[in-house]
Chains A and B, each alone.
Chain A
Amino acid sequence: MSLVWKTTRTLAALLLLFFVVGPLLWLGVLAFAGDWRSPDLLPSTWTLQWWDTVFSDSRFLDSVVLSFTTAPLVTFISMAICLPAAYAFARFDFPGRQFFLIGIFATNAFPRFGLFIAMASLFYTLDLMNSFAGVIIVQLVGTIVFMTWIPAAAFAAIPRSVEEAARDAGAGALRVFFRITLPMAAPGIIVAVILSFLAAFDEAQGTFLVGNPDYVTMPTQMYQLIGHYPRQVSAVFSVLLSIPSVVLLLLVRKRVTGGAVAEGFQLR
């Protein structure tokens, strides 16, 4: 390998690391910064006072609790209603199959903001404004594409012969599904669950529109922090808000890069 190629490669890799991880790193340092004068590479004093500010304010903790209530609940509801559909999309032929598969995607192409304005009218009519149920619905809508498409691809990838062999060996339909199909599709389903959880956890615009002022989740809180509090407070909150994501990332990194997501984005 030539020296030029090695140098170029190292530089390109460093540039990519800087571009992708730099912003998060910088924010992480900011969360502990006391006095930090501009061209200095690091703060001259370090402090935990911004963490105190966040933890001593009950509004912040309330939003943490709410976020960790809605996101798991939404993910669970999404699994319950979408997984049977994903299986049907993968295994059954029925009228309108292609239409519904593309339809679920097409509705995703309408800008969220316009959708939420229009949704507000419907929510006023159904008395869902400023309600817990309204927040759940707004977050649920964004998870459906993940929870249908990715598991559908996972189910479709299981050779039918495996299921048929189990049937021939005398296992009933339900037994085959729970002992054979579900475990084999599990990696794809887990990725879908994680992406749905993140989508629900991350949803801020609709949650703000529907839940404000009584239901404030962590990301909606973050919107309100930016510009109204010292930068360090936003940085601390960002670090807190990233913890679940980073934990999930570490858990499923292999599966995600292994192709479960990529498979899910191709229509069959």
Chain B
Amino acid sequence: MRRRPVTGLLAIAPPVIVIALFVGLPMVSAMLYTLGDTGGLNSTIGSIAQHQHTPERGWLTLDAYREVFADESFRASLVATIVVTLVATVLVTILGWGIALYGRFHDGPLSRLLTGVSIVPMFIPAVIGAYSMLTFYAPNGMLRTIGLALGWDSAPTLSYTLTGVTLGSVWSNLPLTVLLISSGLGGVPQTLIDASRDAGAGPVRRFRKVILPLTTVPTIIAATFSAIGILGSFTLPYVLGPTARNILGPLMDDTYSAFNMPQQAQVMAVVVFGLALVASIAYVWANYRSARRSEVLR
């Protein structure tokens, strides 16, 4: 890689400036606002917000965090957010692995069809995906209709439930998971698999000792992106989720639009951001590991 400090920095300046100005700056001012700062960029919002906490002494205060964390419905939503994120991430990773493995070792019309189908949600606008699942899992939706036709009388209604939100999250994160894991599996040399087979390793052992170690990094990357996406999701839980005890996205919206308490809404945003950062640690570690490995290989 050539050292080009000036050209490099000039070239990346435009997107970096856009991000710094329209994402970085609002992010920082949002964090300051949650700590009670109502000056600068926060003066407009500070003048219209209700139930706002400002420091009595000093510059900053944690009162807004205390209030939010003392709230029963927030704590329930926080737990719901974490559980839905974990369950959906595990499910989508397992499902993605299944599709990717099948595609890698059984090349044929069926595996190509499955891979093709599994990336469809990537191209469907979020609000359409959410709405289609709302009708699909409704009392008169496709799941129950087909279920009844097949003699399954107690087919569940999942619209307006957290189970529905979990399945919806699996749906919308399936494409990226399949793409990343397929690409990782594609990178496992066939010669290595054949060699371990010749050495007498059974399918389970081949999977554990050869395939899995070589695909850990893409799996972690896929899982991190799913987790971050689900943590911050709004459209899906808003359309498909329950009115109360939903995940944090819709609660933020209510807190801001219905109760006019932007400070408390921002506290929730910062909490979600914190969770997303925790999830990203694994991602950065995985990338670091793969970068080091490819240097070793070179």
Contact = CB atoms under 8 A, between A and B. Distances in A.
Contact of B115 (A18, A91, A257): A257
Interface stretch (B6-14, B71-79, B194-202): B6-14
Interface string B93-116: 001001100000000001001111
Given A107-B19, A117-B45, A88 B128 contact: no
Given A246-B123, A259-B186, A265-B225, A111 B128 contact: no
Contacts of A22: 136, 142-143
A3 interface: no
B162 interface: no
A46 interface: no
A253 B1 contact: no
A59 interface: no
A109 B232 contact: yes
Contacts of A27: 128, 131-132, 135-136
Interface string B119-154: 111111111110111111001111111101100000
A168 B114 CA distance: 46
Interface string B8-31: 110111111011001111110110
Contacts of B121: 20
Interface residues of B, number: 107
B102 to A, nearest CB: 8
A253 to B, nearest CB: 6
A178 interface: no
Given A41-B149, A266-B287, A111 B8 contact: no
A41 to B, nearest CB: 6
Contacts of A245: 123-125
B277 interface: yes
Interface string A126-142: 00000000000100110
Max chain A C-beta neighbours (<10 A), residue from B8, B221, B248:
B8
B214 to A, nearest CB: 14
Contact of B182 (A97, A140, A246, A257): A257
A174 interface: no
A20 B171 contact: yes
Contact of B119 (A81, A257, A266): A257
**Nearest 10 CB-CB pairings of A with B:** A114-B269, A94-B8, A262-B183, A118-B26, A88-B11, A23-B132, A23-B136, A118-B30, A92-B8, A81-B14
Given A106-B280, A204-B126, A231-B135, 15 more contacts: A23-B142, A41-B145, A113-B234, A114-B273, A118-B26, A119-B26, A141-B18, A198-B123, A222-B125, A226-B131, A238-B131, A249-B120, A256-B119, A265-B176, A265-B180
Interface of A: 9, 12-13, 16-27, 30, 38-41, 81-82, 84-85, 87-89, 91-97, 100, 102-115, 117-122, 124-125, 137, 140-141, 144, 147-148, 198, 201-202, 204-205, 219, 222-223, 226, 231, 234-235, 238, 241-242, 245-246, 248-249, 253, 256-257, 259, 261-263, 265-268
26 contacts: A13-B114, A18-B146, A20-B117, A20-B118, A21-B117, A85-B11, A88-B4, A107-B19, A112-B232, A114-B30, A114-B269, A118-B29, A118-B266, A121-B44, A141-B22, A144-B15, A144-B19, A202-B125, A204-B127, A205-B235, A222-B125, A241-B125, A245-B123, A259-B182, A261-B180, A266-B221
